[in-house]
């Protein structure tokens, strides 16, 4: 039976931190009626890139990537949904609805939020981790939650995690800090609908 929760309790936090990936959904509002533009859904992975800051605040480390739709949409209207989905024996889907913002490396609050991701720069003993330095971290997305709801997830298949992909880490290792800056200027300055993202 689906339920709505007033805040993230110990049980929900345990579920969140045990998931190897999560999904982020945002959408722009391009007309006066609040509609238009492309809805965006992004899968996110890598251990130690998601943190629960308090019972109604979460954050995740946003790595340099092909697009910046989430950042552009948050700059425009702030609306975001994060979904966690269990792929193991016990089915469960958990959605966090809220308002988000992108904290960039030159923001005064960057250091405070970056402290929540101490393991994001190093691979652990199992070889899992981003293996990327701070130059690849383009933002920290901070979300204030206004609704927490779960659902059954009965139709989601069971799957085993073999390992995290290291493609992004290897791609970033071949880039200098200046290369990564140039990449973000070229590919992350605007959304596919032309909204400003990383500017």
| Domain CATH for 163 | 2.30.110.10
Tell me whether residue 91 is exposed, middle or buried, using C-beta atoms within 10 angstroms of its C-beta: 0 to 12, 13 to 18, 19 or more. middle
Q: What is the mean pLDDT of residues 103-115?
A: 92
What domain range is 177 assigned to? 3-187
DSSP letters of 109-152? Answer: THHHHHTT-GGGGS--TTS-S----GGGEEEEEEEEEEEEEEE-
Q: What is the mean pLDDT of residues 156-169?
A: 89
Q: Is residue 192 part of a domain?
A: no
Q: Is residue 15 part of a domain?
A: yes
Q: Is residue 129 part of a domain?
A: yes
The angle at the Cα of 108, spanning 103 to 109, to the nearest 5 degrees, equals 55
Q: Is residue 199 part of a domain?
A: no
The domain tally of the chain equals 1
- Tens of pLDDT along 173-194? 888 888 888 999 999 999 999 9
Asked whether the predicted pLDDT for residue 122 surpasses 80, the reply is no
Q: Is residue 168 part of a domain?
A: yes
The angle at the Cα of 191, spanning 42 to 16, to the nearest 5 degrees, equals 25
Q: Using 50, 70 and 90 to split pLDDT, how confident is the model at 133?
A: low
Q: Is residue 194 part of a domain?
A: no
Q: What is the mean pLDDT of residues 94-110?
A: 95
pLDDT at 61: 94
3-state secondary structure of 181: helix
Q: Is residue 193 part of a domain?
A: no
């Amino acid at each position: 039976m689906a339920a709505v929760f007033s805040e993230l309790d110990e049980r929900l936090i345990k579920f969140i931190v045990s998931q190897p990936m999560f999904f982020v959904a945002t959408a722009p509002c391009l007309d006066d009626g609040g509609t238009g533009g492309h809805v965006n859904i992004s899968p996110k992975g890598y251990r130690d890139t998601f943190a629960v800051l308090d019972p109604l605040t979460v954050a995740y480390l946003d790595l340099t990537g092909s697009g910046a739709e989430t950042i552009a949409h948050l700059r425009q209207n702030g609306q975001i949904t994060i979904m966690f989905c269990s792929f193991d024996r016990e089915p469960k889907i958990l959605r966090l609805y809220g308002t988000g913002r992108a904290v960039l490396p030159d923001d005064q609050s960057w250091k405070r939020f970056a402290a929540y991701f101490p393991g994001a720069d190093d691979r652990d003993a199992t070889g899992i981790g981003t293996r990327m330095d701070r130059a690849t971290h383009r933002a920290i997305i901070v979300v204030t939650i206004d609704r927490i709801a779960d659902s059954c997830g009965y139709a989601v298949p069971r799957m085993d995690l073999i390992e995290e992909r290291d493609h992004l880490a290897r791609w970033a290792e071949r880039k200098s800090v200046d290369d990564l800056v140039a990449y973000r200027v070229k590919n992350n300055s605007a959304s596919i609908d032309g909204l400003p993202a990383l500017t």
